[in-house]
A and B are shown apart, each in its own frame.
Chain A
Amino acid sequence: EAGVTQFPSHSVIEKGQTVTLRCDPISGHDNLYWYRRVMGKEIKFLLHFVKESKQDESGMPNNRFLAERTGGTYSTLKVQPAELEDSGVYFCASSHPGQGSSGNTIYFGEGSWLTVV
Chain B
Amino acid sequence: AQSVTQLGSHVSVSEGALVLLRCNYSSSVPPYLFWYVQYPNQGLQLLLKYTSAATLVKGINGFEAEFKKSETSFHLTKPSAHMSDAAEYFCAVSKTGNTGKLIFGQGTTLQVKP
Contact = CB atoms under 8 A, between A and B. Distances in A.
Interface in A22-65: 31, 33, 35, 41-45, 48, 50, 55-56, 59
A87 B92 CA distance: 22
Q: How large is the interface on A (under 10, 10 to 19, 20 to 34, 35 or more residues)?
A: 20 to 34
Contact of B103 (A3, A45, A100): A45
| Residue among B42, B100, B103 having the largest count of chain A Cβ atoms under 10 Å | B100
Interface stretch (B10-18, B19-27, B74-82, B104-112): B104-112
Interface string A79-116: 00000000000010101000111111111111100000
Given A56-B101, A104-B99, A105-B49, A42 B44 contact: no
Nearest to A111: B43
B41 A110 contact: yes
Interface residues of B, number: 26
B45 A95 contact: no
A107 B44 CA distance: 8
A106 B46 contact: yes
A57 B40 CA distance: 29
B100 A33 contact: yes
B99 to A, nearest CB: 3
B97 interface: yes
A44 B104 contact: yes
Interface of B: 32, 36, 41-46, 49-52, 90, 92, 94, 97-107
